[in-house]
């Protein structure tokens, strides 16, 4: 969700900047885009397709999540000269670290989870078990490794869609925003273009 916000926000501001510069907006030139698809496929099967996610054991689901993050990090490395990619890679790396240290899933505390599901449903969830069929693992804060990197942030209560996200997710969203804003060009080049057009 937060990644989508970053992408859409970057696209909107990128289009506005391109309009100001009187030029067309183009998708960033990225290498090995197939790695993103390859990274998404294991997650789709393990977490998003109801017919398969119920049948996949937790160990395999955790492996799928870790492999997905690794594929995305390889993609970032291959595109490391693209603006915003280092922020993306840092966010993904932090997420991978906390996931790997907490049993292959992203930890979430009962307090945070209580904002996402009714209390009666949460009461039936066992500490140390997966939170629904998603990527999160319900853990007490004192049992969570690298608590600060877990899914502990929430949008304002008035926001229509409630989802927990991590500090790594924020960095990923900022990286995606910067990527779309600058069309993948280094900031120096984008800034020079803007100054040239203004003059």
What does the alpha-carbon distance between residue 174 and residue 170 come to, in Å, rounded to a whole number? 6
The mean pLDDT value of the chain amounts to 89
Beta-carbon contacts of 168 under 8 Å, excluding residues fewer than 6 positions away, are: 90, 91, 92, 93, 94, 95, 98, 149
pLDDT of residue 2: 81
In the chain, pLDDT over 70 holds for what percent of residues? Answer: 92
Tell me the pTM.
0.88
On the question of pLDDT at 194 being above 70, the answer is no
What does the alpha-carbon distance between residue 29 and residue 76 come to, in Å, rounded to a whole number? 13
What does the alpha-carbon distance between residue 4 and residue 177 come to, in Å, rounded to a whole number? 9
pLDDT of residue 198: 47
What does the pLDDT look like over 130-183, one tens digit per residue? Answer: 987 889 999 999 999 999 999 999 999 888 888 999 999 999 999 999 999 988
């Amino acid at each position: 969700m937060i990644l989508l916000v970053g992408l859409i926000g970057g696209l909107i501001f990128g289009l506005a900047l391109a309009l100001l510069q009187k030029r067309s907006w183009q998708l960033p030139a990225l290498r090995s885009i197939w790695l993103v698809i390859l990274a998404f496929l294991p997650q789709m099967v393990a977490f998003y397709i109801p017919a398969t996610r119920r049948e996949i054991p937790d160990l395999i689901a955790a492996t799928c999540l870790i492999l997905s993050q690794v594929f995305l990090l390889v993609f970032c490395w291959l595109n490391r000269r693209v603006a915003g990619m280092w922020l993306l890679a840092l966010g993904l790396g932090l997420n991978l670290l906390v996931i790997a240290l907490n049993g292959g899933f992203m930890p979430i505390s009962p307090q945070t989870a209580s904002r996402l599901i009714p209390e009666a449903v949460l009461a039936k969830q066992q500490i140390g078990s997966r939170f629904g069929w998603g990527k999160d693992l319900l853990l007490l804060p004192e049992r969570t490794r690298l608590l600060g990197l877990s899914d502990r942030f929430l949008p304002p209560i008035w926001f229509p869609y409630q989802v927990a996200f991590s500090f790594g997710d924020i960095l990923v969203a900022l990286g995606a925003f910067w990527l779309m804003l600058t069309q993948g060009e280094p900031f120096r080049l984008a800034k020079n273009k803007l100054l040239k057009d203004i003059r």
